[in-house]
Structure 1
Amino acid sequence: MKKKDKLLIILMTILPWLSIPFIGKRTLKRFLPGSLFMSLYLIAEGRFAEKKKWWWFPYSIKPNVLAELPLIFGPFLVGALWILKYTYGKFNLYLLVNILIDSFFTYFGLKWLKKIGYVSLARLTRFQLSIVFLIKTFVLYGFQIVYEKCCHLSKNSSL
């Protein structure tokens, strides 16, 4: 991986965080637990995928550290916050937005990441990856529902 491409990976991790001040304190408090849960879920999935050779990261941050951490703690975590902010409580819209974003990543973003030598699919097709993303879509929404019921949160709560 070229030095320029490493810089792009670093920017991919950091740039989404620049939008956090615009998300609102209330939204952050409400949806951060679900987004962090999904980050942990993605780390576990990454370990599992590594063993099953679903995808391959020739790029590595450090030995024994998942190379997908820049994706997990950059666009995926921050993206989950934004998606929940604008779609939570409107499941059909939430599902549509996730399908569109996940499809864009699967069919275009992944191509770019492969081109720069960051990741490529191994034993998983793009369609199968889309199914994996769809499962995560349901897991995140389900977690948020359970979290809000357990913590007695609602859209109008005073966080």
Structure 2
Amino acid sequence: MMTVNFTWGTQKIGSNLGFGGCLTDGLFLHIKFYISCEISDSLTIKGELGASEKGMNDEAMNIKIQTLFNAAIVILSWVTLPLLGSKNIKRFLPASIFILLVEIVHAWIGKKQRWWVFYNKPKSFLFGEVPFQIGPFLAISMWILKWTYGKFIRFILLNGVINALFAYPFTYLATKFRYYTLVRFSNFQFFLYFFSKAFLLYGVQYLIENHKVKEKLKSLF
């Protein structure tokens, strides 16, 4: 959050100075306000980064527990995939793999920019982000396509609900248990980070389906 501090000075605006004096004081206050905003914003960012670095030195989640948790979310996610059926896996896997690759690149950028930070091994992409990506992110993408593809409004609403649950209550718990915390991202920005990918996922699946239809039509003639 950006904080702004500025002072009015000892002299009242416009007192015995006339209209020109008011403009001068007004311009002075505007410049002082702008400089204060810039300094405060810079200090806020530095404070956030400093807090995240300090958090790395505090007591984090037990690393063995996090290792088990990472393994569990991947295994449990993959266990659900056969329930999709081989036909649906073949149908929805290409688009899901594509959006997974987009997410991996996006998360790599996010890690470099410190949009969030993991308490254990904060510099390890493999230990932090990858279990989420190859586990829940991939599986949920495929399940949502199975349940809602062809019904765009339902697809967007379901994505919105799931992304909101992850960005707000899950992230709150993750911070509380010292798993990861947001640094340069707000919860709403974190929500948008995931939600924006829903439109791309649906668009890619649409292109794949449309291409298959065209291929079938060509085979008929």
TM-score by length of 1: 0.87
Question: CA separation of 1:49/1:95 partners in 2, compared to 1, >3 Å: closer, same or farther?
Answer: same
Quote the residue 2:165 is aligned against: 104
**Structure 2 residue aligned with 1:76:** 137
- Once residues 164 and 65 of structure 2 are traced to their aligned partners in structure 1, the CA distance between those partners, rounded to angstroms, is 26
Q: 1:110: how far off?
A: 1.3
Moved more, 40-49 or 61-70: 61-70
Q: CA–CA distance in 2 between the matches of 1:5 and 1:66?
A: 9
Equivalent of residue 134 in structure 1, options 192, 195, 209: 195
Q: CA deviation at 1:148?
A: 1.9
Q: Which secondary structure does the structure 1 equivalent of 2:185 belong to?
A: coil
Residue deviations 1:7-47 (CA, integer Å, cap 9, x gap): 12221121111111211111000000111111111110011
**Could you say which structure has the larger radius of gyration?**
2
Give the match for residue 122 of structure 1: 183
Match of 1:87 in 2: 148
Relative contact order (C-alpha < 8 Å, sep 6+): which is higher? 1
Q: Which runs of 5+ in 2 are unaligned?
A: 1-60, 215-221
Cα distance in 1 for residues equivalent to 2:113 and 2:94: 28
Bigger drift between 108-117 and 80-89 goes to 108-117
Specify whether residues 47 and 66 from structure 1 end up closer, same or farther in structure 2 by C-alpha distance, changes over 3 A only. farther
Which secondary structure state, in structure 2, belongs to the residue aligned with residue 152 of structure 1?
helix
CA RMSD of aligned residues (A): 2.1
1:45 to 106, 110, 113: 106
**Aligned pairs, how many?**
154
Match of 1:18 in 2: 79
Flag structure 1 segments of 5+ consecutive residues without an equivalent.
154-159
Matched-pair contact (CA < 8 Å) for 1:43–1:66 = no
Q: TM-score, normalised by structure 2?
A: 0.64
